[in-house]
A = this chain, B = another copy of it.
Amino acid sequence: MERTIYDLDQKDMPTHWYNIQADLPEPLPPVLHPGTGKPVTPDDLAPLLPMELIMQEVSTERWIEIPEEVQAVYRTWRPTRLHRARRLEKALDTPAKIFFKYEGTNQAGSHKPNTAIANCYYNMKEGIKRITTETGAGQWGSALSLAGAFFGIEIKVYMVRISYDQKPYRRIAMEVWGGKCVPSPSPDTKAGRDMLEKWPDCPGSLGLAISEAVEDCVGRDDTHYALGSVLNHVLLHQTIQGEECRKQMEMADAYPDIIVGNVGGGSNYGGQFLPWIRDKISGAKPDMRVICVEPESCPTMTRGLYAYDFGDNVGLTPLIKMHTLGHGFIPPPIHAGGLRYHGMAPIICHLYELGLVEAVAVHQTAVFDAGVKFARTEGIISGPEPCHNLKVAFDEALKCKESGEAKTILIAHSGHGHFDLGAYERYLSGKLEDYAFPEEEVKKAQAELPKVPS
């Protein structure tokens, strides 16, 4: 029997998240207050986040225990499966061994519940009754709505307008779990109303939706805000993926030579590769390659500046040191809504600057081409986001075919594309757009990076 699935027993599930901050060769640059230029304090963030998450944000403890209540909810679908893509290997006629860790089988269909559940748990413990958030493609909004149902918290989601229109089923899913979802820009906030006045047909952006969610949170004692990517504590919660995967790769008697993942804010891929990259930092696996894949139309790592910038479009957040296309940049309307973000998780940017990870940008039609190939070999219809890394994984597997090397490739597969079939239809009918790198818009946005007060 050729095994294709490596199931980890629930009793062997990791009980701790892995915190890369304990093992970084240099510490992360601090997050700064935009008014003073001084590092933000826990008190600055307290109106937005529960104290436990604020402390996780700056913790340098290596292992942080997953509360039993969070583990219990994880167990409604975790551990997720590690697959060996044997049919794909044969179709590509490659000596490479291709594995993928698939986060698409949970109730919300992506990796997002890993952190949404932790988020709602800590908020619930602090007595919070309501959480606001933004969502791009809708995965985060639906994951948070799901988590809200699990912990009895009301969820209000500002969904990027173009995705709201393209993906009505995502919105309804949120409502099934009891969440409330409005298109952003919305008339519910000043940030939204201002944008609607300037640009009534604005397709929205993650940055603007963040502005709306933050505005809706500030000044309400019963309400906090939740972010589904970028921040250190979000990547921390996602490490459940990589920690599980290490045990599963051991079951498969394998170790990745190459890990491939797509990056929007960076949390899914961070959750997979951070538990591995400690072996590279320690020197145990110096040759392991960690490839971050991003869209050509929003190439934050390959074309961004490494600088302090706001996390949102309007400028409400603290200043974060990251690769950025400029907080004012609104990316073209590619279907991978989860990758339309001007910035990137500071942890990943830091590792990129240290030369520990690499990055590559790919075009949308090549991405869907890979997605269709994957569907016709392994069956799974992937979200547009993970299709990005499928494209690069295939390229690496084909390089192995040429060189004859039997490398082990591990794909961080974030979820299914059941709500993205409109995009597949455009691809199959030859109508899918490719967007070039929007150089002028990015230059303009990067010219308006905030000055750090000194």
Whether A76 and B378, one on each chain, are in contact in the complex, defined by CB atoms closer than 8 angstroms, is yes
Asked if A282 is at the interface (CB within 8 A of a chain B CB), the reply is: no
Q: Is the CB of A381 within 8 A of B419?
A: no
**From A10, A76, A146, A372, residue with most partner B Cβ within 10 Å:** A76
Chain A residues numbered 120-155 whose CB sits less than 8 Å from any CB in chain B:
146, 149-150
CB contact under 8 A between A172 and B425, given known A150-B379, A178-B376: yes
Copies in the complex: 2
Q: In the complex, are the beta carbons of A175 and B428 less than 8 A apart? A: yes
Which residue of B176, B380, B424 contacts A428 across the interface (Cβ within 8 Å)?
Answer: B176
A3/B10 contact (C-beta < 8 A), A149-B379, A173-B421 known: yes
Q: How far is the CB of A411 from chain B (nearest CB, A)?
A: 15
Taking the nearest CB of chain B, how far is it from the CB of A188, in angstroms? 19
Assess whether A172 is in contact with B424, with CB atoms less than 8 Å apart.
yes
A103-111, A202-210, A293-301, A437-445 - the one binding chain B? A103-111
Contacts of A377 in B (CB 8 A): 149
Partner of A418, one of B169, B175, B422: B169
Contacts of A172 in B (CB 8 A): 421-422, 424-425, 428
Question: Which B-chain residue is minimally distant from A11 (CB atoms)?
Answer: B1
- Does B418 contact A381, Cβ atoms closer than 8 Å? no
Say yes or no: B4 contacts A76, CB within 8 Å: yes
Provide the bound-state CA to CA distance between A31 and B150, in Å: 50
Query: Which residues 217-264 in A have Cβ within 8 Å of B in the complex?
Result: none
Residue contacts A-B, CB under 8 angstroms, 12 given:
A1-B71, A2-B75, A3-B11, A76-B83, A76-B378, A105-B105, A106-B379, A107-B380, A150-B379, A176-B428, A177-B376, A418-B418
